[in-house]
Chains A and B, each alone.
Chain A
Amino acid sequence: MLEFRNVTKRFETPGGQEVNVLQDVSFTVDDDEFCVVVGPSGCGKSTLLNLALGLVPVSEGQIIHNGKVVESIVSSDVGYITQDANLLPWSTVLDNIMSPLEIRGVPKAERRAQAMEWAEAVGLGKFVDFYPGQLSGGMQKRCSIARTMAYDPAMIYMDEPFGPLDAITRTVLQETLLNLWQTRRKTILFITHDLVEAIALGDTVIVINGQPGSVKARIPIPLSRPREIRHLAADTEFVELHTKIWSYLEPGVESIA
């Protein structure tokens, strides 16, 4: 379980002034919940993830991860999938997927077998000997998802993982992610600026807006699973949710764009 308790984050500008990026943010992510944080650019949602991972310290408040206050880099039983695939360019797909297993001291034969299994699961079975530079952006992203799933962390943080991809690849990967998550439940905290993606994936959508960013709404998504993302746009329930969430995003959005 992950809990944000009245978290505020301040940064110092180069001019020496203090700017609040996040203000009094509180919410919880339950075990095995797919929680999506959505908000316009500049609302501090990526900062939220960095705080949760302990990559930067909170200014006020507390973040509690599995009963422990986050004070330094969280590295036990968590996965992190970033906007860029962040693969090792000098390692093959298989070696990339094996690296967290190697860190965990899994014996060589076993980590090979596990990595192969995950490469197959994300559709990279034929490409295990390729280098990242030989893969398309979508395939690199598949590889980074396989790398995280391979060591089976209980919680995964995802920072706009499908942001740089084209619409078709994005939809296919969202479906892949949901299928993986349905067979192997995990707690996911997923950051995005894409409303459709937020509704399509999440059990819960948390809307962050404003400067400094604060929680505007916590909206449960009652859409039944498994969901067919490519046909969601025609679903009336989806359209209602979309309109509702937009209403929380509207104030202040013009000033950003």
Chain B
Amino acid sequence: MSARIESRSTAVAVDGEIVAPKTSSRASRDRNWRLKVSIGQVVAILAILAIWQGISGAVIPAYLISSPISVISDTITLLQTHTMWTDIWVTAQELILGYAIGVVFGILVGILMGSVKFLSGVFEPIIAGINGIPKIALAPLFLLWFGLGIWSKVAQASMIVFFVMYYNVYMGMLSISPMLVKLFQVMGAKRGYVARKVVLPSLSIPIFAGLKACVPFAMIGVIVGEFIAADKGVGYFVLQATQQFDSAGLFSGIIIMVAMVLVGMRIVTFCQNRVLFWQKQDHGR
């Protein structure tokens, strides 16, 4: 009896009937739980900010760690200036271009290496070797090749993004069910059909895993590039603030970077929910 009640609490279709969805008491328990967690999060963040505010000046000199109040007021002031928005726009361009180029090449090379055994045999060790380079060490080289403008930062970001994306897609190719592919071949499917209907959808999970992981990586590439040499960008702004012992400005710059990464992640999540809708339906088999 109790087993039957339990099986009725999730919306699963069993031979012949659609079992009733969650009961309302469970839904309200879920709501209460989420509310508790949200309150806990707010309290934790306020506590951290209060401690920061408390030790600033009193324990650690304000010019080293600034304080939440000055960081917030500084951020608000900065966002009203034209130069800050120019910096944000430059960094955004570098971020988007570097991300896009790295992602596209990562996916293409991953699919190619996953489908042509000879190519992966030849190039896998070479790619692994290049990936062994600490990519930040290449920043001066990119500066030399692509100049002071945005393209040296784009190159730096795409270099990092490429490898993350490539490995995700390549491993995704190797994990496609050979049985599913054979079954479709027996059904009469040509290569193009198998590629569109079996291979690409199978890759959607590793691709989205890569897309999510790559947003902060792209930001690292861009900021490193701006640290090396730049005259615009959020990274350049942070470097300037540091050199002027403007710790409030420095923290403001970091907050802006985090906000940009979070916006990027939101966009990826939005796309993911539209593409991987079928995966959400998956309640226990």
Contact = CB atoms under 8 A, between A and B. Distances in A.
Interface in A55-92: 55, 73-76, 78-80, 82, 84, 86, 88-91
B282 interface: yes
A126 to B, nearest CB: 7
Interface residues of B, number: 29
A123 B197 CA distance: 26
Contacts of B197: 88, 91, 99
Contacts of B179: 82, 84, 86
A190 interface: no
A103 B190 CA distance: 8
B188 A76 contact: yes
A231 interface: no
B18 A80 contact: no
Main secondary structure of the interface of A (DSSP, over half): loop
B200 to A, nearest CB: 10
A73 B191 CA distance: 13
A103 B198 CA distance: 13
A125 B271 CA distance: 31
Interface residues of A, number: 35
A151 interface: yes
Given A90-B204, A90-B278, A130 B187 contact: no
Contact of B183 (A86, A90, A127, A169): A86
Contact of B282 (A73, A74, A134): A134
A82 B283 CA distance: 23
B21 interface: no
Contacts of A99: 184, 187, 197
B14 interface: yes
A198 interface: no
B188 to A, nearest CB: 5
B33 to A, nearest CB: 25
A125 B278 CA distance: 20
Contact of B281 (A53, A82, A133): A133
B9 to A, nearest CB: 16
Contacts, number: 85
A137 interface: yes
A46 to B, nearest CB: 11
Contact of B189 (A89, A90, A103): A103
Contact of A53 (B18, B186, B204, B283): B186
Contact of B186 (A75, A91, A137): A75
B29 interface: no
Contact of A123 (B14, B16, B18, B193): B16
B91 to A, nearest CB: 36
A252 to B, nearest CB: 29
B285 interface: yes
A248 interface: no
Given A53-B186, A88-B201, A103-B193, A133 B13 contact: no
A78 B15 contact: no
A225 interface: no
A103 B18 contact: no
29 contacts: A55-B182, A55-B186, A73-B185, A74-B186, A79-B186, A84-B179, A88-B198, A89-B278, A89-B279, A89-B282, A90-B278, A91-B197, A91-B278, A99-B187, A100-B188, A103-B184, A103-B190, A123-B16, A126-B18, A130-B281, A133-B279, A134-B12, A134-B13, A134-B281, A134-B282, A135-B285, A136-B14, A136-B15, A136-B285
Given A73-B182, A100-B188, A135-B13, 7 more contacts: A88-B180, A89-B282, A102-B193, A103-B187, A131-B281, A133-B283, A136-B15
Question: Which 6 A-B residue pairs are closest in the complex by CB-CB distance?
Answer: A133-B282, A90-B278, A80-B186, A100-B187, A131-B281, A90-B201
Interface of A: 53, 55, 73-76, 78-80, 82, 84, 86, 88-91, 99-100, 102-104, 123, 126-127, 130-131, 133-139, 151, 169
